[in-house]
Amino acid sequence: MAEFLCGLDAAVTVVGGKWKPLILWALSVEPRRTGELRRELPGVSEKVLTQQLRELENDGVVHREIHQEVPPRVVYSLTAEGAQLDRALRPLGEWGEEHMDGIREARR
Amino acid sequence: MAEFLCGLDAAVTVVGGKWKPLILWALSVEPRRTGELRRELPGVSEKVLTQQLRELENDGVVHREIHQEVPPRVVYSLTAEGAQLDRALRPLGEWGEEHMDGIREARR
A14:B96 CB<8 A: yes
Question: Domain for residue B9, yes or no?
Answer: no
Domain that holds residue B79: 15-106
User: B25 — contact with chain A (CB < 8 Å)?
Assistant: yes
Question: Domain for residue A7, yes or no?
Answer: no
* pLDDT, mean of residues B61-90: 95
Tell me the CATH number at A81: 1.10.10.10
Question: Domain for residue A74, yes or no?
Answer: yes
Q: What proportion of chain B, given as a percentage, has pLDDT over 70?
A: 98
Mean pLDDT for back-to-back runs of 10 residues, chain A (108 residues): 76 85 93 93 91 95 95 95 95 93 88
Domain count, chain B: 1
| ipTM entry | 0.86
User: B80 — contact with chain A (CB < 8 Å)?
Assistant: no
Which of B22, B85, B95 is opposite residue A84, by nearest beta carbon? Answer: B95
Question: Domain for residue B81, yes or no?
Answer: yes
Question: Domain for residue B44, yes or no?
Answer: yes
Question: Domain for residue A86, yes or no?
Answer: yes
Give the DSSP H or E segment for A85: helix A80-106
Question: Domain for residue A8, yes or no?
Answer: no
Residue B91 has pLDDT above 90, yes or no: yes
- CB contacts of A3 in chain B (<8 Å) are 104
- DSSP state letters, chain B: ----SSHHHHHHHHH-SSSHHHHHHHHHHS-EEHHHHHHHSTT--HHHHHHHHHHHHHTTSEEEEEE-SSS-EEEEEE-HHHHHHHHHHHHHHHHHHHHHHHHHHHT-
Question: Domain for residue B3, yes or no?
Answer: no
